[in-house]
Amino acid sequence: MELTQKKITNLRVEHITKRFPGVLASDDITLEISEGQILALVGENGAGKTTLMNILMGLYQPDEGRILINGEEVHFRSPNDAFAAGLGMVHQQYMLVANMTVLENIALGFKAAWSPYKLNLEMVRDRITEVAKKYGLSVDPDAYIWQLSVGEQQRVELVKTLCLGARFLILDEPTSALTPQETDELIVLLKNMSSELSIIFISHKLQEVKDLSDKITILRHGAVVFEGNTHEHSPSDIAALMTGHEVDLPLNEEPACEGIPVLDIKSLNVKSDRGFLALNDLNLTICSGEIVGLAGVSGNGQRELAESINGLRKVENGEIQFYGENIANKSPHHIIEAGMGYIPEERNTEGIVPSFSMKENLILKDTEHKEFSRYAFLKNKAIDKNAEDLRVKFDIRSPNISIAAGSLSGGNIQKVILAREISRRPKFLIAVYPIRGLDLGAAEFIHKQLLEIRHEGIGILLISEELDEILDLSDRVAVIFKGQIQKVLARKDANRRSLGILMAGVKDDQTV
């Protein structure tokens, strides 16, 4: 297909249907977008948003339906065809090669710079400068991707897409990994860009949808359930349409509990994978029956903190007093037996063994306990009963209890982990990004469970980047920045603005 510079005045998809084994991912979808518009494509996880966009970009082939640009039917057999037509997509998981520079990543798609024996990097560099100037996006072409923060990587993705000639942008959950400030900046940027391009914007954060989009299309189970103009509908209307029922994320409204300190971290020093100090004299105290939210941009020591408390990372020095015992550098087994519960960051690789069945994953921490084993044998009946009980109690949607845990959806995997951790009756729980990537229904359920065990007197350390989650649930909010606690705020003092400033590394309010 020839590269065109023609404007895209109208893009229309008609009756798109795509089946995956056992799933109808797109069900007769029709939608339309005109020049200069921003369309928000909204829906829960698994609603088929990303599949539809992958079809639009030529990554998947639709089973039925057609795509029209300016009224003419087009066929995209590969992403190259979609680029040639002027479409560009920023994927949710950034499509960047970590061990190459920004320049090389962009050159990868910039075919004009590919002479057979030499890569014309200067040509790519000129193009980057041109785009950066036009849209006010600054990037360092010579930085390696692994050196960049998530926000910077996203900017690289945008620059890349624009350098390759996109006149129609598709953004798949562009704010899911950004700080509140970065999100605001992105929204302003996209608004400015929309005077020259059309944008499809996938999100399930309703505030952004309200702020940014002109039109809204809601998908549920692969089908369009609603279309309309954004300004005519409130966020709660949209949420109800998205999930099919009224959603009410629970709030922590109880008075702060006056428990005793149970987890007391004193001048903790821990190294990161790359060998520098990720936690630098960190101090934090958490009482029984309270939720402390740890707010911060990821990469400021959250992972290292959670891992060192759970015995998964070496403590250089400092103490972790847990019910009066220093558990620093104790084995994970010892710490689990001491009553620590843990919902890890990577649910698929750290939270479960994906190839094990759901019922096996539910007893993973108790294989030596009398309840589930006798002599050297597992008690299969007890294991089955445990799984059946938890499946009902935690509303885990699975065909049976013997299914491989890895084949469940993200929300159900998280429920399996939560069920295992809570049913063990821990004395304390560390929950890392417990609702990351989950839809509203699953998030609601998990938040209710967390509030319930808080009510029972269990202390919780909630690590999250989602300020709404932290503000909804926490009794106190601690802000982490570069391996130290910037400040601990009571719930009444914490709001998006105060936290955002602290997360950006400003310690006192005076400068802003």
Partner 1 sequence: MNFIVNILSLGIPFSVALLIASLGEMFNQRAGVFNLGCEGIMAMGAFLGMLVPYSIGQGGPTSGMYNVLGLGLAMVVGALLGIFFAFVVVTFRAPQGIAGIGLQMFGVGTAGTLFRHFIGGTQSVPGIGNLPIPGLSKIPLIGPIFFSHNILVYLAFLFVPLAWYILFKTPWGLRVRAVGTNPRAADSIGIQVNRVRYQALAVGGALAGLAGAYLSLAQVKMFSDEIIAGRGFIAVALVYFGHWHPVKIMGGALLFSLAQALQLAIQGQGINFPYEFAVMLPYVMVIIVLAFSRESQLLGPTSLGKSFNREKRV
Q: Which residues bind partner 1 (CB under 8 A)?
A: 20, 57, 59-60, 78-80, 83, 89, 91, 93-100, 104-105, 107-109, 113-119, 144, 146, 160, 164
Residue with Cβ nearer partner 1 (120 or 283): 120
Phi, psi of 187 (to 5 degrees): -65, -45
Cα torsion 237, 240, 242, 247: sign: positive
Q: How far is the CB of 473 from partner 1 (least distance, A)?
A: 29
Residue with Cβ nearer partner 1 (17 or 498): 17
Write the CB contacts of 383 (distance below 8 Å, at least 6 apart in sequence). Answer: 359, 360, 362, 363, 372
Q: How far is the CB of 100 from partner 1 (least distance, A)?
A: 6
Q: How far is the CB of 96 from partner 1 (least distance, A)?
A: 6
Q: How far is the CB of 150 from partner 1 (least distance, A)?
A: 15
Residue with Cβ nearer partner 1 (109 or 289): 109
Give SS3 for 71.
Answer: coil
Residue with Cβ nearer partner 1 (247 or 404): 404
Q: How far is the CB of 120 from partner 1 (least distance, A)?
A: 9
Q: How far is the CB of 95 from partner 1 (least distance, A)?
A: 4
Cα Rg, the chain, nearest whole Å? 25
Query: Cα separation of 225 and 219, whole Å?
Result: 6
| Contact (Cβ atoms closer than 8 angstroms) between residue 220 and residue 244 | yes
Residue with Cβ nearer partner 1 (201 or 372): 201
Query: Cα separation of 300 and 40, whole Å?
Result: 31
Q: How far is the CB of 10 from partner 1 (least distance, A)?
A: 24
- Token pair recorded at residue 402: 């013997």
Residue with Cβ nearer partner 1 (107 or 470): 107
| Contact (Cβ atoms closer than 8 angstroms) between residue 344 and residue 403 | no
- 66, β-bridge pairs: 14
Q: How far is the CB of 170 from partner 1 (least distance, A)?
A: 11
Residue with Cβ nearer partner 1 (68 or 119): 119
Q: Which run of H or of E encompasses 471?
A: helix 467-473
Full 3-state SS string of 127-193: HHHHHHHHHCCCCCCCCEHHHCCHHHHHHHHHHHHHHCCCCEEEEECCCCCCCHHHHHHHHHHHHHH
Which of 80, 36, 26, 38 lies closest to 171 in space, CA to CA? 38
Residue with Cβ nearer partner 1 (5 or 99): 99
